Amino acid sequence: MKDPITILMDEHRLIEKVLGALAGLADRVESGVDVPRREIARFAEFFRGFADRHHHGKEEDRLFVAMEAAGMPREGGPIAVMLHEHDEGRAHVRALAALGEGEGPLSDDDRDALISHARAFVPLLAAHIAKEDNILYPMARRFLSPDAFVELERTCEEYDADTERAAEADRLRAVAGELVSAWPAPDGPLFSGGCAGEPM
Ligand SMILES: [Fe+2]
Ligand SMILES: [Fe+2]
């Protein structure tokens, strides 16, 4: 059985793949390809349901709660930065969802909005993930006592075992697979500049 931090990192790998697909979709739109709204809606569905509700939900309701209980402040520290970035991402996903729900073919303004939200959201979430992988999660491993880590393991297992949530996460993993094969990611990194040593 994988520990909760490893499971969260596995979820990051899937989210990164879909971020790559979204970057690919934005490139295609920019080069004049017609993209059905339904595809944009499916990206919003994945990011809202899996990246946010499932993954950020587990971080916010389990991991961050455990780190706070162990004495890490919620305000003014790395947890505050992570929460702020979750919120920033939500605003972009709301905009993508609105484009997905619109009627008829995309207008020029819709295309511009799609490109600018995708171009802002992809590096935001990719850099966020790198900060968690390289800074916050290792910090959690060091910061939580062995007992607190066992308790985190228990609460995360309970979170992932919820039948309805698990079924929805599996359904969204399948959506992710379809998006990744439909929209090949451009070459190169999802965001520029390393962040492993950057202060949060
Ligand atoms: Fe996060
Ligand atoms: Fe995360």
Residue 4 CA to ligand 1 center (angstroms) comes to: 14
Measured in Å, residue 35 CA sits from the centre of ligand 1 at 29
CA distance 195 to 136: 12
pTM assigned to the model: 0.95
Superfamily of domain 4-182: nmb1532 protein domain like (1.20.120.520)
DSSP at 183: S
Total H helices, total E strands in the chain = 9, 0
* Residues present in the chain in total: 200
Residue 197: predicted pLDDT? 46
Q: Which residues of 28-44 are buried (b: 16+ CB within 10 A; e: fewer)?
A: bbeeeeebebebbbbbb
Hey, is 107 helix, strand or coil?
coil
Q: How far away, in angstroms, is 169 Cα from ligand 2 center?
A: 15
| Cβ neighbours, 10 Å, residue 143 | 15
Residue 129 CA, ligand 1 centroid: distance in Å: 6
Q: Please tell me the predicted confidence (pLDDT) of residue 1.
A: 81
Structure tokens at 199: 């202060």
pLDDT at 194 (0 to 100): 60
- Within the chain, strands assigned E span none
Contact 117, 110 (CB under 8 A): no
- Give the pLDDT of the chain (200 residues) as one tens digit per residue: 899 999 999 999 999 999 999 999 999 999 999 999 999 999 999 999 999 999 999 999 999 999 999 999 888 899 999 999 999 999 999 999 999 999 999 999 999 999 999 999 999 999 999 999 999 999 999 999 999 999 999 999 999 999 999 999 999 999 999 999 999 999 999 999 765 445 55
Q: Where are the domains of the chain?
A: 4-182
- CA–CA dist 131, 161 (Å, integer): 27
| Strand (E) or helix (H) holding 186 | none
